[in-house]
Chains A and B, each alone.
Chain A
Amino acid sequence: MPLEYWIAGAVMVSLTLYALGAGADFGGGVWDLLSSGPRARAQRDLIAHAIGPIWEANHVWLILVVVLLFVCFPAPWAVISTALHVPLTVMLLGVVLRGSAFTFRSYDDASDVVQRRWGRVFAMASVLTPLMLGVCVGAVAAGRVRMQGGRVVGGFLWPWLSPFPLAVGALALVLFAFLAAVYLTLETGDEALRDDFRRRALGAGALLGVLAFGALAIARRDAPLVWAGLSSRPWSLPLHAFIATVAMGALASVWWRSYPLARVLAMLQVTLVVWGWGLGQFPYLLPPDVTFTASAAPPAVLRAVLGVLVAGGVVLVPSLWALYRVFSGQQASSRRSSH
């Protein structure tokens, strides 16, 4: 396998882990915004408790993706940064406001007014970021981010301001919200609270199904490239059928209250969605013109980066393992019950 494919794989792995970790953190923000009922305060506290120790680490995957892209695929990255300048900037705004508002809320006045004000900023930013991330992904997948003769074509709005990218944005948002709700069912020992998030997971899951078919319908008209890919690749339809099955399975296990299984299936579902998109446009980084191979940095650079990735992974895996072990939901609930 050529070196650039290994790097592309690493980008996909990082994106997947970003979606599984940070995606759920953003989803938590969405539920913070939508917290309601007699346990609204408890819902918000549970969310804050679950994402507090880990959101910064989860967030680093995105930085890794950006670094890998600009080091290993510099020309397409320059095109992406130019064509998607607006949604990327809005996304960054969301990143900044989400992180800082969340931290400020943790350390600011405990009075309700102040908490709510920061909470609102944190929650709104949590909606904005996945939406824009999805828009960027949709724009790339639809082949709207293009370069001809070293110049970006289509201006600064056309590449992304269109039904399909926006549909993917909505899809990403709901997917993350679903994932977060499923995780949160396992973060608490309180039955009523767990049921709150069970209902939310079911609602988000159902909406996700509707949106997925909606995006498909839009793709037919607005993203011919994506639509054609579905029918031209022999594995494409079976894969999507499989994703749908896993999604149904995840929903069913939430329904039957087998939360650990639901978590596994929801994670699998997110992973499959990310990889389905990646494989769908392979070997193109920016379909329909730019392949990974044609746009890769010199082999010496790729080799060095792969070395760094391996070395970094050796350090990272045990550290992450320690982090999640120390703060896994089970310990949280056992600790709370011992108080």
Chain B
Amino acid sequence: MAISLGFHIIFAVVGIAMPVLMVIAEDRWIRRRDEASLLLARRWAQGTAILFAVGAVSGTVLSFELGLLWPSFMAFAGPIFGMPFSLEGFAFFVEAIFLGIYLYGWDRVPPRMHWAAGVLVALSGVLSGAFVVIANGWMNTPTGFRMVAGQAVDVDPWEAMKNPAAPLEILHMTIAAYLSVGFAVAAIHAWRLLTEPDNLFHRRALEYSLWMAGVAAVLQPISGDLSAQHVAKHQPVKLAAMEGQFRTERGAPLRIGGWPDEEAEVTRYAIEIPYGLSLLAFHDPHAEVQGLDAVPRADRPPVHIVHLAFQVMVGCGSVLMAVALLGALLAWRRRGLPDQRWYLKTLVACGPLGFIALEAGWTVTEVGRQPWIVRGVLRTADAVTPMPGLVVPLVTFTAIYIFLGFVVLFLLRRQVFTSPRVLPPAQGRRRSGA
């Protein structure tokens, strides 16, 4: 399940973010008749098609796996938190329909309608992502029911959808989608620009993807700060695990790096910034931060994983923000695309960071909730299926996912290598490579 999700999440964010790039490029084509942008929109649409198809089928696997692997969890939680899934079903429907029109309808619908179909894909992508995240938010901060003698009563699915964790998680996740996809796309085209620096196709691509990634990179720390404050208030155990905070204390320090020792209940080798954590989480240097010691050991998540994953996420996010700001500075100084070779190389190096941060962030929220599958209500171990030999489907699906992953990479690689070559008008006529 975790493997399916970790795999699916990559394709899901592509479904959210790539349509935005497509419609930006197509809009430029419609407004300014910029040939390179049209080629780019078409090419990006092809890449999106491959990734979206794999995302759609891996998403289907997930919808079944919920029942196949966690029958008791779904029997308990299905009615309460199923509402966002049914809404997601419709959002996904709209996304699939209009992506079909977008991909196959280039010469069947008028340009602006075609563009509008792309916009609908982008919007429904955000919506369907948001609905899934609402369901996850509910697992973190369950609402909308009461437990009486082990049974959920007074179920109110709308209350469950309004669970407190959802809004900030959606914000963080949506920005993360634009951020990770933006930097990955920028890296691919930056890499191609290193060998063909005047190909307009890649210059446009870099321009659009850097805009998207850059804006997201600057907004993300703000949303992260809001999220952290929220987690501090509603999920103190998770915050304590993220920060490796074993003791409840006032004026808690912010730890950068370090290795939590769960036996001795201390986090070693960390750089500690005095009062940093209290300040960040509660905007008050003397605020009390609840440590892991507030709950029995059996109720604590695996601290080192959560702490490490959190450090990785924040680390990657910070680097990307710095790269984005640097790019903005360079672009402002030369009033154009920041295409210095060293900056392009930096972008290439940063390509995977967004996705690493994405997976790390997902690890933080999921592992940080353990041992609960629904925080404070149902333990993960009590929810798993009684089915014997689970390892067989697990290995099969993992093998298939790895295989699909390789094929997707291979296909995308060829898409990039056969990219069209568009020279600026001054240098002569257009040649198309594919």
Q: Which residues of A contact B (CB under 8 A)?
A: 52-54, 56-57, 59-60, 62-64, 66-68, 70-72, 74-75, 77-82, 85, 88-89, 92-93, 95-100, 102-104, 106-109, 156, 297-298, 300-301, 304-305, 308-309, 311-312, 315-316, 319-320, 322-323, 326-327, 331, 335
CB–CB A59/B96 < 8 A? yes
Q: With CB as the reference atom, state the residue of chain A lying closest to B46.
A: A107
* CB proximity to A under 8 Å, residues B67-83: 67-68, 71-72, 74-76, 78-80, 82-83
* CB proximity to A under 8 Å, residues B41-98: 46, 49-50, 52-54, 56-61, 63-64, 66-68, 71-72, 74-76, 78-80, 82-83, 85-90, 92-94, 96-98
For B60, the chain A residues whose CB sits under 8 A away are 59, 62-63, 92, 95-96
Known: A56-B52, A70-B82, A82-B385. A326 touches B105 (CB 8 A): yes
* CB proximity to A under 8 Å, residues B372-407: 385-388, 393, 396-397, 400, 404, 407
CB–CB A70/B74 < 8 A? yes
CB–CB A53/B61 < 8 A? no
CB–CB B109/A326 < 8 A? yes
CB–CB A107/B415 < 8 A? yes
Output the least CB separation between A150 and chain B (Å).
9
For A68, the chain B residues whose CB sits under 8 A away are 86
Main secondary structure of the interface of B (DSSP, over half): helix
For B285, the chain A residues whose CB sits under 8 A away are none
For B52, B63, B157, B404, the residue with the greatest tally of chain A CB atoms inside 10 Å of its CB is B157
Give Cα A88 to B85, complex, Å: 20
For B76, the chain A residues whose CB sits under 8 A away are 74
For B103, the chain A residues whose CB sits under 8 A away are 53
- 26 pairs of residues in contact across A and B, judged by CB atoms under 8 Å: A53-B101, A59-B60, A60-B92, A60-B93, A63-B89, A70-B78, A74-B78, A81-B67, A81-B71, A82-B71, A82-B385, A92-B64, A93-B396, A95-B60, A96-B400, A100-B53, A100-B407, A308-B87, A308-B90, A312-B89, A315-B90, A319-B94, A322-B97, A322-B101, A326-B109, A331-B108
CB–CB B157/A326 < 8 A? no
CB–CB A77/B75 < 8 A? yes
B100 on the A face (CB < 8 A): yes
Q: With CB as the reference atom, state the residue of chain A lying closest to B67.
A: A81
CB–CB B108/A103 < 8 A? no
B155 on the A face (CB < 8 A): yes
Output the least CB separation between A3 and chain B (Å).
13
Give Cα A63 to B8, complex, Å: 15
For A56, A98, A104, the residue with the greatest tally of chain B CB atoms inside 10 Å of its CB is A56
CB–CB A74/B75 < 8 A? yes
CB–CB A56/B96 < 8 A? yes
Q: List the 9 shortest-distance A-B pairs measured between CB atoms, nearest first.
A: A71-B82, A297-B79, A312-B90, A81-B67, A78-B71, A103-B53, A74-B78, A53-B104, A99-B57
What is the interface residue range for chain B against chain A? 35 or more
B241 on the A face (CB < 8 A): no
CB–CB A52/B74 < 8 A? no
CB–CB A63/B63 < 8 A? yes
For B104, the chain A residues whose CB sits under 8 A away are 52-53, 326-327
Instruction: Tell me which of A59, A75, A316, A326 contacts B108 (CB under 8 A).
Output: A326
Known: A63-B89, A74-B74, A156-B388. 17 other contacts (CB 8 A): A53-B103, A59-B56, A70-B85, A71-B83, A78-B75, A81-B64, A81-B71, A82-B71, A85-B385, A96-B61, A100-B57, A103-B49, A297-B79, A312-B86, A312-B90, A323-B100, A335-B108
* CB proximity to A under 8 Å, residues B101-118: 101, 103-105, 108-109
Output the least CB separation between A56 and chain B (Å).
4
B156 on the A face (CB < 8 A): yes
For B80, the chain A residues whose CB sits under 8 A away are 301
* CB proximity to A under 8 Å, residues B28-48: 46
B99 on the A face (CB < 8 A): yes
Give Cα A319 to B388, complex, Å: 43
Q: With CB as the reference atom, state the residue of chain A lying closest to B85.
A: A67
Give Cα A231 to B78, complex, Å: 37
For A107, the chain B residues whose CB sits under 8 A away are 46, 49-50, 411, 415
Give Cα A304 to B80, complex, Å: 11
B417 on the A face (CB < 8 A): no
B269 on the A face (CB < 8 A): no
CB–CB B108/A96 < 8 A? no
Give Cα A326 to B68, complex, Å: 37
For A82, the chain B residues whose CB sits under 8 A away are 71, 385-387
CB–CB B79/A74 < 8 A? yes
For B332, the chain A residues whose CB sits under 8 A away are none
Q: With CB as the reference atom, state the residue of chain A lying closest to B56.
A: A56
Known: A80-B67, A301-B155, A305-B86. A60 touches B96 (CB 8 A): yes
Output the least CB separation between A128 and chain B (Å).
13
CB–CB B400/A97 < 8 A? yes
For B59, B75, B108, B156, the residue with the greatest tally of chain A CB atoms inside 10 Å of its CB is B75
